[in-house]
Structure 1
Amino acid sequence: MRKQGWWGFCFTLPFLIQLAVFFLFPFFFSFYLTFTKWDLFNAPHWIGLRNWSLMVKNDVFWLALRNVFCFALLFVPGQTLVSLLLAYMLNLQIRGKTFFRLIYFLPVITPWVAGGLVWLWIYNNEFGILNWMLDSLGLDRVNWVRSEKWWLVIGSIAIVNIWKGAGYSMVLLLAGMQNISKEIMEAARIDGANGWKYFTKITIPLVSPMVYMVMILSTISAFHAFDVFLVMLGEKGDINSIHDRNMVPNILIYRDAFLNAKMGAASAWAWGLFAIILLVTLFQKKMEKRWVHYE
């Protein structure tokens, strides 16, 4: 028995080493850095709570939080609703379901650079199709991602992120819908449930655990947004070209850590963001019992 325990420890040792080196050490070391001043080259210098104090007083940090909350409020419900409708339609008996699933999932595997460039052309102030449609309707052109109105920029980027991520959430929800018992479906049809009632009274309650998981993943993804803002707002990939009014926490963290060599301050931003994501997730967990139905 002792020999089996020794072999079990030997087989799990690589995983334990990986866990310690790539998770536990960076986790605790980054928390230590929040109390230091470190430029990545010299030894960290202890400064106490100064980074936390500067974070609270930093106007750009609060602008970044405002933007990411607005982005999450648009992205999470939008992606959940779009993916839910796509999954429901693809779960029906229609022709070419495999083709449509491929088309809707294609943005997920499209690189952000390619997808972002396409959307920049769609949003283009002079040649974009959206402004062409506005011209056709006799409306003024809109400078979607270069506007001085921060809410317009955030909303435009949220639409791009919904396009990019809806396919992945669609697959998860589609898997949940395909697990609905055929007996339940037949009983609902016998009771006279039409398409809308079946969708709202049968499908949504039965896939609510999967919808909840999609919302959790979407929320975490929204607060971790980086690529979409860099591609859509950074001119030629230059982070410094992103205006403070359009800043989000991850861009701010990257800029301070690797461009300004303020690793201590960046670690404080990161831990502040971690605390906010944790609070939002706990709130969603508390609301779970009110609308998620488990069989």
Structure 2
Amino acid sequence: MHKQGHWGYLFTLPFTINILVFVAFPVVFSAYVSFVKWDLFNPPEWVGLQNWQQLFEQKVFWISVRNVFYFALVFVPLQTIAALIIAHLLNQAIRGQTLLRLFYFLPVVTPWIAGGVLWAWLFNTKYGLINWLLETINLPAVKWLDSKHWWVVVGSVALVNVWKGVGSSMILLLAGMQNISKEMKEASQIDGASNWMYFSRIVFPLVSPMIYMVMILSTIAAFQAFDVFLSMFGSQMSNVPERNMVTNMLIYRDAFQLFKMGPASAAAWALFVIILGITLFQRYFEKRWVHYD
């Protein structure tokens, strides 16, 4: 038994090293960097709470927090509702079911570069397909990504993120729906339940754990959103107006364009605290509407 214990430690050693080097060390080091002045080239200089004080005094930080909250308020409900509806439709006995599932999942595996180019063209003020459709019904063209109103720009990017992520959420919800026995649907039909009653009284409560998980994952993804903004605005974050900033864009700009690693690390930890708080808030209300029986 003693020798078997040594073999166990030996086989888990690569995983342990991976956790220590690529997870534990970066977390501890980033916490340390949030208290120093460091530009990646010169030795770190301890400044204490100066980075945190400057962070909370920056107007652009609070603008980025406002924008990421708005982004989440648009993205999470739209993606969850769209994924739930699509999953319910694809759970029916319809023709081309496999092809439709592939069609809805295709954006998930589409690279952000290709998706960003596509949606940048769709949102183009002069030549975009969306504005062309608006003009055909006598509506004015909209500056989706160039608007002076931050909520239009951030909301437009949130719609792109819904297009990208709805497929993965749909797969999770579809898996939950397929665990519902056919006998339960047949029993509801015998009792005279309509399709809406079957969906709202049986399907929705039974898949509520999956819906809750989708909402948790979508909320975390919303507050960590970066690649969608990078693909829509390009890599030059310094050219993005501050009114359109979200927190991860601010972290990227400070760290890798301005080489201010201290403020960037402080902003990253502030974002972590925000995500943790929202997740705990969602956990608090879990037992009120999630049915595990």
AA partner of residue 126 (structure 2): E
Q: Give 1:273's aligned residue.
A: 271
Structure 2: gaps spanning 5 or more residues: none
Q: Give 1:39's aligned residue.
A: 39
1:74-223 to structure 2, matched below 5 A, reads 74-223=74-223
**How far 1:233 moved relative to its partner?**
2.1
Q: Give 2:28's aligned residue.
A: 28
**How far 1:130 moved relative to its partner?**
1.5
The alignment partner of 1:214 has SS state of helix
**How far 1:193 moved relative to its partner?**
1.4
The alignment partner of 2:285 has SS state of helix
Q: Give 1:285's aligned residue.
A: 283
Q: Give 1:261's aligned residue.
A: 259
The alignment partner of 1:225 has SS state of coil
Q: Give 2:9's aligned residue.
A: 9
**How far 1:182 moved relative to its partner?**
2.2
- 2-structure distance, mates of 1:121, 1:18: 41
Greater Cα shift, 33-42 or 169-178: 33-42
- 1-structure distance, mates of 2:119, 2:184: 42
AA partner of residue 196 (structure 2): W
Runs of 4+ aligned residues of structure 1 deviating over 2 Å after TM superposition are none
**Over aligned residues, Cα RMSD in angstroms?**
0.9
**How far 1:117 moved relative to its partner?**
1.0
Q: Give 1:244's aligned residue.
A: 242
AA partner of residue 275 (structure 1): V
Structure 1: gaps spanning 5 or more residues: none
Q: How many residues align?
A: 293
AA partner of residue 261 (structure 2): M
The alignment partner of 2:20 has SS state of helix
AA partner of residue 111 (structure 1): P
- 2-structure distance, mates of 1:133, 1:261: 43
**How far 1:183 moved relative to its partner?**
2.5
How many percent of aligned residue pairs carry the same amino acid?
Answer: 60
AA partner of residue 89 (structure 1): L
**How far 1:141 moved relative to its partner?**
1.1
**How far 1:15 moved relative to its partner?**
0.8
